[in-house]
Amino acid sequence: MGVFSNKIDREQLKPGDHIYSWRQAYIYAHHGIYVGDEMVIHFTRGGGQEIGTGTVLDRFLCSSSASNATGTPCPKCGDQNKDDGVISSCLDCFLSGDSLYLFEYGVSPAYFLAKPRGGTCTLAVSDPNEDVLRRASFLRKNGFGGYNVFNNNCEDFAVYCKTGLLIFTSISVGRSGQAASCVAAASAVVSAPLRFMTTSFSGLAAVGYGIYCVSRLVSDIGVRRDVSKVPVERLIASPDIDEPEKLETLVASLDTDEPEKLETLVASVGRDEPEKEAVINKED
């Protein structure tokens, strides 16, 4: 594993590792948390939610649900082709016949920029593996909100499990390096007027790539200022994880110094919204 590839062997895996596997000829990658015993917890769209983006991307993005390379139900996982949300799959089904890669944490800015593709590393530092496994297991039982390819996808799930960090502003993409790379590429194209600063082809390429790199770097969760450490118990108290502005309001309104209130909110997960509001108002 190095600057050019994060590919690893199965024997190198440790519980708590953030792993990923490229899909659709390296168009995108699917991410998850390895929990040991050849099992992975990951966040999927599922076969029934193929139009989750509402954009032209839906023609290219396939379901990230676990699938067996043979096309038959896995004896260990069963048929998960239609499953969505946070699920547990065996490593073979998670990889779906593709190679295994390790997501890196705590890298330097130079190393980060040396990686031309987003979604492979971050400047953010990982928490201890026991915390990572606890978050993944908790979210496996309680969910991670609705899947959103730009603001709440499989990479966002894995990054949260590793760091406990959430982005609360709605002016940008979520924690996903893949989504940030798409936005960075768009920024490089939109900034075409800046390229009139030079007339040479090499100069145009340098300006465009420089804008792409800067956009990627400032969008990394390890650099951004609009992030906050959120306990997983508080996180699942909100049904709008994929809507940052609503999640920000809820988190700001909670008092973590009152364990009884937090416990009540956790117990209210899964209730209809009016009932949940009644519980919160009663505690206030």
Please identify every residue annotated as catalytic.
Answer: 30, 42, 154
Rounded to a whole number of angstroms, the distance between the first and last alpha carbons of the chain is 51
Angle between helices 154-163 and 177-190 (to 10 degrees): 120
How many CA atoms lie less than 13 Å away from 273 in the CB half-sphere? 5
Side chain identity at residue 230, one-letter code: V
DSSP state at residue 43: E
Strand partners, 101: 7, 20
- CA dist 121 → 20, 173, 217, 222 (Å): 11, 16, 11, 10
State CA 59 to chain mean position distance: 21
Helices (H) and strands (E) in the chain, counts: 10, 7
Q: What is the maximum span of the chain, computed from C-alpha positions, in angstroms?
A: 66
- Reported residue count of the chain is 284
Q: Which residues contact 221 (CB under 8 A, 6 or more apart)?
A: 122, 123, 124, 159, 163, 165, 167, 175, 227
CA-based R_g, the chain, Å: 20
Pairing of the two strands 28-36 and 165-167: unpaired
